[in-house]
Structure 1
Amino acid sequence: MRRRQFVTGITLSVLAGQRAGIAGPPRRIVLASLVTNTEGFAARWLTLIYTDAFRQLGFELEIRSFPAARAGAEAAAGNVDGELARSFEYQAMQPNLVRVPEATFFASTIAYARRHDVLLAPGWEGLRDTGYRVEYRLGYPAVASKLADVLPPSQLAEVRNAETGLRKLVLGRSDLYVDVEDSIAPLLERAEFRNAGIRPASVLQRGPIHAYLNKQHADLALRLGAVLKKMRDSGQIERYRQQAMHQN
């Protein structure tokens, strides 16, 4: 009898310890982001969505902002737990990451121009045989791959950041700058570019944006996808969109 009581006491102690662990402080997860909350509503929207989603899973989210190439390198090296927002195709370029199955939203990749005589058909194929000098941001391997399929290397160049890409358009040192609309729209509102005559020349692609987690978090990626779906179905993601749009 005394042995049975002793075993039961151990079992209860273990269960109590497990409950205490569950009730303890949330675990931390760190994701790299290509944009900051000051660069437009999309970054604020993502912050609201994923802070809530990870909280529901018992995690405290930390977001660290990096240039695109650095974000990819940090994720590949395991210095962060994943990336906050990348295209569907990004999975093929980052074998150490797994795509969260539920997309957050859809984004457009745009070719921007300043010259009035630049005319393009929609889609990547609209660039083929055009002869235009095209620049794009370093650290977007999916964009680089799509451009390489339709243009020779002599017509392509990388820039380190979006501001540089837009400035080279203004100076006439390139004919087109390719980037994600959500990143460029806030920049075109700045005094430097507001009256520069930069315009969208063509929508090259519109596709889903996903979070990515390191492979060791594969199970968490599935659970996060399920939480995001519930949030979408309940209208919470749309409510966060409205909130982000009205934040300054």
Structure 2
Amino acid sequence: MFMLKIKNIFFFLIITAFMVSFETSIYAEVEKDYFGREMTFVYSQPLEFPKTQALIRLYSEVFRRAGIRFRYLNVPSKRAMSLLCSGEVDGDLGRLYSFMNQDRCVVRVGEPNFSISITAFSANPNISLNGWESLRGSKYKAECFRGELICLTRISDLLPPDQCSEVNTVHQGIQKLFKGRTDVFIKGTGAVDWYLKSDQFKIISQGRKIYKSGVMERTTSHMFLYRRHAYLASKIAEILRDMKKDGSFQQLMRY
């Protein structure tokens, strides 16, 4: 019996050593395949948006640590998604957690960039919403940011086609609210809050206000990689976790 236990322990140690060696060899292979290589990334927000700048700083450091050259390509949201799903770029700096459920051309990096609230905005202070289902059966004309398929899919499931639309910029979305062409504009809180502090908003608002009508969904933002880079996702997540522990993540994401 004693010898059997010894054999079992010895067998367990061999298997454990093999698994550690196997995992190390995977990372070594990743580094070998990607070391010195340039990878190109896009993002759905404007280049001047503070969160865009923060993510560029963050992932420049992430890929520096991975031994990979980082390049950012500034294109509109819908174009960014097209380039990503065709494999013309290597990834997107940040999409909603559920983006992978929409299109299997991508792989999500498990460690999040930040939390995000998808919020309905309106020029009418009397509109009150709470979650996507609160739109069902309403007469509201709802609008999303072009290229953000998750938002468009949600409202299209709840409202008839003539009550759903898209715009290319936050500026256009807010303008249409003021003109009464739409009732709610749905977007991540950060992007709209940033716009509402801009000089451009001061010009078009003429003293009028935009109200938060309700939060539609709370989720997280993640980097997504084109599927051929799937085995790099765990390495990036590991680096992000390390950076959160050493404080460099918080420093680079400050704006």
Return the letter of the residue paired with 1:236: S
- What is aligned with 1:153? 161
The answer to whether structure 1 residue 44 and structure 2 residue 56 are counterparts is: no
The answer to whether structure 1 residue 229 and structure 2 residue 237 are counterparts is: no
1:192 maps to which of 179, 197, 200: 200
The answer to whether structure 1 residue 34 and structure 2 residue 23 are counterparts is: no
- What is aligned with 1:98? 107
Q: Give the Å deviation of 1:150.
A: 2.3
1:182 maps to which of 190, 196, 220: 190
Q: Give the Å deviation of 1:167.
A: 0.7
Q: Distance in 2 between matches of 1:36 and 1:174?
A: 23
- What is aligned with 2:251? 239
* Structure-to-structure mapping, 1:127-138, within 5 angstroms: 127-138=135-146
Q: Give the Å deviation of 1:211.
A: 0.5
The answer to whether structure 1 residue 74 and structure 2 residue 83 are counterparts is: yes
Is the 8 Å Cα contact of residues 125 and 213 (structure 2) preserved in structure 1?
no
Q: Give the Å deviation of 1:218.
A: 1.0
Q: Secondary structure of 1:200's partner? A: strand
- What is aligned with 1:14? none
CA RMSD of aligned residues (A): 1.9
Count of aligned pairs: 220
Normalising by structure 1, what TM-score? 0.83
Normalising by structure 2, what TM-score? 0.81
My pick for the range that moved more, 233-242 or 104-113, is 233-242
The answer to whether structure 1 residue 204 and structure 2 residue 216 are counterparts is: yes
Return the letter of the residue paired with 1:104: N
Q: Distance in 2 between matches of 1:206 and 1:127?
A: 16
Return the letter of the residue paired with 1:109: I
- What is aligned with 1:144? 152
Which runs of no fewer than 5 residues in structure 1 stay unpaired? 1-20
Q: Distance in 1 between matches of 2:95 and 2:163?
A: 25
Q: Distance in 2 between matches of 1:198 and 1:139?
A: 23
